[in-house]
Amino acid sequence: MRMTLLAFTLVVVESVWAVALVGIVHITASAVLGILIVRRLGEEESESAEEEERDAAPSG
């Protein structure tokens, strides 16, 4: 069975779309995870700064 030029073009185009979709999903997931990690680190940093301030304050 011979593959026609149209069928070959369709396979190539669909493959490119599939790769592009996977890339977009990967980039989006990486960005979301990065934002969540930065938020979590920011929360931990602010909590530790508050603890340091309480420890440094002279007790009454």
pLDDT tens across the length of the chain (60 residues): 677 999 999 999 999 999 999 999 999 999 999 999 999 998 888 888 777 777 777 665
Q: Which residue has the tokens 């979590």?
A: 40
Number of helices and strands (H, E) in the chain? 1, 0
Per-residue confidence (pLDDT) for residue 1, from 0 to 100:
64
Per-residue confidence (pLDDT) for residue 48, from 0 to 100:
83
Per-residue confidence (pLDDT) for residue 8, from 0 to 100:
92
Which residues, 6 or more positions from 11, have their beta carbon under 8 angstroms from its beta carbon?
A: 3
Per-residue confidence (pLDDT) for residue 4, from 0 to 100:
94
Q: Kindly list the distances between the CA atom of residue 14 and the CA atoms of 20, 26, 33, 38, 60, in Å, as whole numbers in the listed order.
A: 10, 18, 28, 36, 72
Per-residue confidence (pLDDT) for residue 30, from 0 to 100:
98
- As given in the structure block, the two tokens for residue 31 are 């960005």
Per-residue confidence (pLDDT) for residue 11, from 0 to 100:
93
